[in-house]
Chain A
Amino acid sequence: MKKGKIAMTITIGIACFALVTVMMMQFKVVNETDITAIEEMQETELKTELASWKTRYEEIDEQYQEVTQRIEEYKNDEVSNNEASQLVQEELEQTNTLLGLTDVYGEGIIITLKSGKDITPITADDLLIMVNALKFAGAEAISINDERIVNTTDIVYITSGSFIKVNGQRILEPYVIKVIGNQSHMESAVTGTGGKVDELLTLGHVATIEKDNDITIGKYNGEIETKYIQ
Chain B
Amino acid sequence: MPNKKLISIILGVMCFALTLGIVVQVRTIQNTNSTISQNQEANALRDEILKYKERYDNRFAQLEEAEKELEKEREEATKNNTELEQAQQQITEGNKLTGMTEVTGPGVIITLSDGTGIATSTLNPSQLIVHDLDVLSVVNELINAGAEAISINEQRWVFTTAISCRGNTIDINGERIGAPFVIKAIGLPEYLAGLERVGGYLELMRGQGVGVNLEKSNNITIPKYSGVINFEYLQNVER
How many pairs, one residue from A and one from B, have CB atoms within 8 Å of each other in the complex? 233
When chains A and B are docked, how far (Å) is the Cα of A42 from the Cα of B67?
Answer: 38
Given A64-B62, A132-B162, CB of A91 within 8 Å of CB of B74: yes
Cβ-based interface call for B49 (8 A): yes
19 contacts between A and B (CB under 8 A): A12-B11, A39-B32, A42-B37, A50-B48, A60-B59, A60-B60, A60-B63, A77-B77, A85-B84, A88-B91, A98-B98, A105-B237, A125-B133, A128-B137, A129-B133, A149-B159, A156-B141, A226-B148, A227-B188
Closest 4 CB pairs of A and B: A136-B162, A95-B94, A135-B162, A74-B73
Cβ-based interface call for B176 (8 A): yes
Which stretch (A65-73, A114-122, A199-207) binds chain B? Answer: A65-73
Cβ-based interface call for B118 (8 A): no
Cβ-based interface call for A92 (8 A): yes
When chains A and B are docked, how far (Å) is the Cα of A141 from the Cα of B236?
Answer: 11
Cβ-based interface call for A154 (8 A): yes
Q: CB within 8 Å of B: which residues of A?
A: 12, 16, 19, 23, 26-27, 30, 35, 37-40, 42-43, 46-47, 49-50, 52-54, 56-57, 59-64, 67-68, 70-71, 74-75, 77-78, 81, 84-85, 87-89, 91-93, 95-100, 102-108, 125, 128-129, 132-133, 135-136, 138-141, 149-156, 180-182, 216, 224, 226-230
When chains A and B are docked, how far (Å) is the Cα of A95 from the Cα of B161?
Answer: 17
Residue of B nearest to A93 (CB): B236
How far, in Å, is A123 (CB) from chain B's closest CB? 12
When chains A and B are docked, how far (Å) is the Cα of A170 from the Cα of B217?
Answer: 33
How far, in Å, is A166 (CB) from chain B's closest CB? 11
When chains A and B are docked, how far (Å) is the Cα of A105 from the Cα of B233?
Answer: 8
Residue of A nearest to B177 (CB): A37
How far, in Å, is A83 (CB) from chain B's closest CB? 9
In the complex the two chains form, is A39's CB within 8 Å of B81's CB?
A: no
When chains A and B are docked, how far (Å) is the Cα of A150 from the Cα of B157?
Answer: 11
Cβ-based interface call for B126 (8 A): no
How far, in Å, is A24 (CB) from chain B's closest CB? 10
Partner of A151 from the list B141, B157, B226 (CB cut-off 8 Å) is: B157
Cβ-based interface call for B111 (8 A): no
